[in-house]
Each structure stands twice: as C-alpha cells, then as structure tokens.
Structure 1
C-alpha cells in the first residue's frame, strides 16, 4: 500500500544554514556561526514556548532568535537589514536532493505532505519558492494546535489529517528530536542524516530508516 508521508520542512526540505550567505555582508567571518546560533535558538524558543504553553507562532520564534544571536555575537543589525533577513528566510533554498526525491516518491504512489512548525501560509510560500510545493498534497502546520514539535498531539494530528492510524504514517526529518517525537507518538520515522558525523540522541528510540540524503528514501519506504 502506498505510504502516507509527512516531511519536515526546515532542515529537511530546505536549508536554514544557507542564511550564512545573507549574513556574510553583516557578520563577516561570524556568518556561519551566526546562522547556526539563529537556528539553534529558533528551535529552543519553540521548545520552551511549547512547554510553557505560551504559544507564539514560529515566525515570532525566528525573529526573536535572530535578535538573540546578533546580540550574543556582537553583530550590529539595523532595522532595515533585520527585515531583509526575515524576508530572505521565507525564500530558503531547497536541498539539491529534495525535488528529485519528492518526484520519485510521488511516482511510487506515496501520499506526500509537508509537516512544519511554521505557519501553513509561510510554509506554502517557502515551498513554492523552492519549487517543491507542486510535489505535495498540502501542508500540515502545528499552528492549528498552537504548540510545537515534539509534542505528541501534533504527530497524532498529522495522522488524522492524512486519514491514517499513527502506525501507518511516516515522518521524514533531518532533525533527531523530530524523529524521536514521531516515534514516541506511535508513527514510523526516517532520519535524513546528511552529516555523517551527526549523532542520534541515545534515548533508546531509533528511527525505522536512516538515509544519508532524501535521494535514498524512495528505495527504503515500502511500496
């Protein structure tokens, strides 16, 4: 039976760390460090807001994380540049393997949805700009529940939206916390381990499939 697949967006289909190209003129040699800290704090703020039940959407987390990262690294960020960077975040480039992999999965009959911490409208615009939205049936956003991954309810919501039982749904993500969250909620999960040096969290919860990139995914999912 074709699989129902939810694909994470940030860090799986598009690459947030490519913001270092936009940060270069502002941060110089600190651009890569700034991009990484921005991403780290973005996720941390989402986790913290979920735990505190003080929800603000992912765009707020992104904006506040940028503010923190620039202050922490001593980078001056005038307001026009801040707006420009946040606009650029809505046009993150896709990973090179994303479009071919989605096409291959679709050809095998799998149902493909984006599943994101981001707002549905933001994710749709981002994926459209990246040339990926056409391969997907739609976008499922955690904003519908006003919390964030890895809360169990968001993965169960994905299953309901895809009209499958949790154990019949695959979550595909480059983020280990996302894979663990999906598995803990009863879904199947594939980890996209693009960095060979990346270490999976030793929680005793393992992905059903590990692939070095999205290109290898079509051959791993049952057709």
Structure 2
C-alpha cells in the first residue's frame, strides 16, 4: 500500500542532519584515534537498543559513555568531556535547503532522535535553521530507543497526526525499518551507509541524497 504525501516529516538527528566531526575531534583531543568514532557510535546504538529490548532504560549519554569505557581507557572525567562534544555539532550542508523545500511546500518538519535533550536544538541553532523546525522530539521522553514501535507512534501522537500521515527521513536503515513497521512512510538516503540493508524489506523511499528523499516524499 502506498501511503499518502505526509503532513509531517520527522528527521533523525545524529549523522542524518548533524555532522559528528566534532565528536571525532574530541576523541583525538583526548588521545584516541578519530577513526574510532564509527565503532563507538555503533556500540552506543547497540547498547541503547539492546537495553530497550530487554526492558531496561539507559539514556543516550549513558550509553555513549559506556561505549567509551568499553573501547578506550579514558577516565570518567574525559569520557564526560567527549560526550559534551555532541553539543558542538552542526548541520550538514544539504540540510538547510532540504528543510526549506519542505517548509515552502507547507509540510511540517520535526526532529526525532533518541539523543540527549538539547543536542538537536544546539545543532539547529548553530546552523541558523531553528525556525524551519516545528519541534524537536527525543524518545527519551518515553524511555524507548528507536527502532522500537513505541518511539514512532509516540512521535506521531505528539504531532497530532496519524502514523500514515508522518514520514521519517534517516540515513540509517534500521531507523527507516522501524518507522515503516510502525506505519510511517520511511525515506532512506546514504550518508554513513552505502546501501539500504538488503536484508530488510525495501522502504517507501530510497534516494541518492537528502534532497532526493525530500522530493520523493513531496511527489507522493
């Protein structure tokens, strides 16, 4: 079934909208290789989603600092300082035109992260695009990491729309899969992943870039 053009488009935050380069720089500043970031970020996501599946709550920051403890010998104070670098993120260059395109088409824009409160807001403010985003949502509010169904349904409810009238744009296949399983329209484009995971059912939208994902949603 093809879902209609969405009334609300939610964007994942880390990597999808915001560049994680400052986190890599913080790792280097504390004597760690910047190339550790992908493994560190993946371990963070694994920790958080595993906890959700098991019925245990951990915040994004706690999961990130836990991953640092597992993969480095940094002290607790230095782990906290590296975690603080998430407040220094900025949007990727393609984000502002994509958000402006949606706003110009009369589509509401929100962010949906499982990240720490304040991270999305700081990044949007740094990029000067806060006015383009109606609200920032974090699934910490319901203590359920994406891709749990609860996170997406809560976001749709918070925006007062049916799941079928909401889309989720993300550069992570697992996030798009979760959104689609919850009844949202999923849109994936490559950022850190080269292809959409071939073991997952194909989502509603697979685009070459962020602009293409937005155009595909508007064309529905």
The interval holding the TM-score normalised by the smaller chain is 0.7 to 0.9
**Shift in Å, 1:129:** 2.9
Structure 2 unaligned residues grouped into runs of 5+: none
1:112 maps to which of 95, 106, 109: 109
Matches of 1:131 and 1:42, distance apart in 2? 28
Matches of 2:127 and 2:66, distance apart in 1? 24
Q: What TM-score do you get using the length of structure 1 for normalisation?
A: 0.86
1:87 paired to 2:84 = yes
Are residues 80 and 41 of structure 1, via their aligned partners in 2, closer, same or farther at CA, if it must alter by over 3 Å?
Answer: same
Matches of 1:168 and 1:132, distance apart in 2? 24
Matches within 5 A, 1:42-191: 42-70=44-72, 76-191=73-188
Are residues 65 and 126 of structure 1, via their aligned partners in 2, closer, same or farther at CA, if it must alter by over 3 Å?
Answer: farther
Are residues 206 and 2 of structure 1, via their aligned partners in 2, closer, same or farther at CA, if it must alter by over 3 Å?
Answer: closer
The size of the alignment, in residue pairs, is 215
**Shift in Å, 1:212:** 2.4
Are residues 2 and 178 of structure 1, via their aligned partners in 2, closer, same or farther at CA, if it must alter by over 3 Å?
Answer: closer
**2:206 corresponding residue in structure 1:** 210
Matches of 2:128 and 2:119, distance apart in 1? 14
Q: What TM-score do you get using the length of structure 2 for normalisation?
A: 0.87
Matches of 1:135 and 1:62, distance apart in 2? 29
**2:34 corresponding residue in structure 1:** 31
Q: Secondary structure at the match of 1:140?
A: strand
- Superposition RMSD in Å: 2.1
Q: Secondary structure at the match of 1:171?
A: strand
| Kept after mapping to 2: 8 A contact 1:196/1:212 | no
Are residues 199 and 92 of structure 1, via their aligned partners in 2, closer, same or farther at CA, if it must alter by over 3 Å?
Answer: same
Matches of 1:202 and 1:183, distance apart in 2? 15
**2:20 corresponding residue in structure 1:** 16
| Kept after mapping to 2: 8 A contact 1:46/1:148 | yes
1:6 maps to which of 2, 7, 10: 10
**Shift in Å, 1:184:** 0.7
Structure 1 unaligned residues grouped into runs of 5+: 71-75
**2:217 corresponding residue in structure 1:** 221
